[in-house]
Structure 1
Amino acid sequence: MQKQKKIPQRKCIACQERDSKKGLIRIVKNKDGKIFLDESGKANGRGAYICRDVECLKKAIKTKALNKSFKIEVHNEVYENLLKELESYEN
């Protein structure tokens, strides 16, 4: 009998729902303070996870969830860039 491999679970910072690591998109803040979507899930830096849904990102923007996750003030243009990036992934 083969031992079943554990699937890493992460929680969306907006809706608080759990999903597999691959089912969510990772948002990274690197050591230079740059914040971006990490499709590979392997970029260096502090990560926060969000559903692959524009509505979840909008909710995260409204509640300033990234500010809490990264413990910094995240500017509106960063949120707008993340929104554009996420919309391009969905198409």
Structure 2
Amino acid sequence: MAKQRKIPMRKDLLSGEMFPKKEMVRVVRNADNTVSIDPTGKAAGRGAYVALDPAAVKQAKRKQVIDKAFDIKVDPAFYDELYAYVDHKKARQELFGESNK
């Protein structure tokens, strides 16, 4: 009998809910205070996780949630980039199932 592996969970920056890490997108602020999407989940810097919920990303832009989390001013274009990325990842997940990273 195979041993059940523990699924790493992360808290969604936007909703405060816990989700499996594989179902989230990591956003990172690096040493020179630039904020970017981290598709590998391994980039150096302060990270935060966002669930695959395009509506929540739109709301986050209005409330400037990422600005507050990283305590810096984030370019509004970054929120648009994050929205497009999350929307694409969610569509792929729905098309191909959870096995696709």
**What is the TM-score of this pair, normalised by structure 2?**
0.73
Percent identical among aligned pairs is: 36
**What is the TM-score of this pair, normalised by structure 1?**
0.80
Partner of 1:55: 55
Partner of 2:8: 8
Equivalent pair of 1:11/1:49 in contact (CA under 8 Å): yes
How many angstroms apart in 2 are the aligned matches of 1:83 and 1:20?
Answer: 20
Per-residue deviation at 1:59? Answer: 1.9
Where does the alignment leave 5 or more consecutive residues of structure 2 unmatched? 93-101
Partner of 2:81: 81
How many angstroms apart in 2 are the aligned matches of 1:73 and 1:59?
Answer: 17
How many angstroms apart in 2 are the aligned matches of 1:13 and 1:27?
Answer: 10
Partner of 2:67: 67
Where does the alignment leave 5 or more consecutive residues of structure 1 unmatched? none
Q: What amino acid is aligned across from residue 81 of structure 1 in structure 2?
A: E
Q: What amino acid is aligned across from residue 47 of structure 2 in structure 1?
A: G
Q: What amino acid is aligned across from residue 21 of structure 1 in structure 2?
A: K
Aligned residue pairs total 91
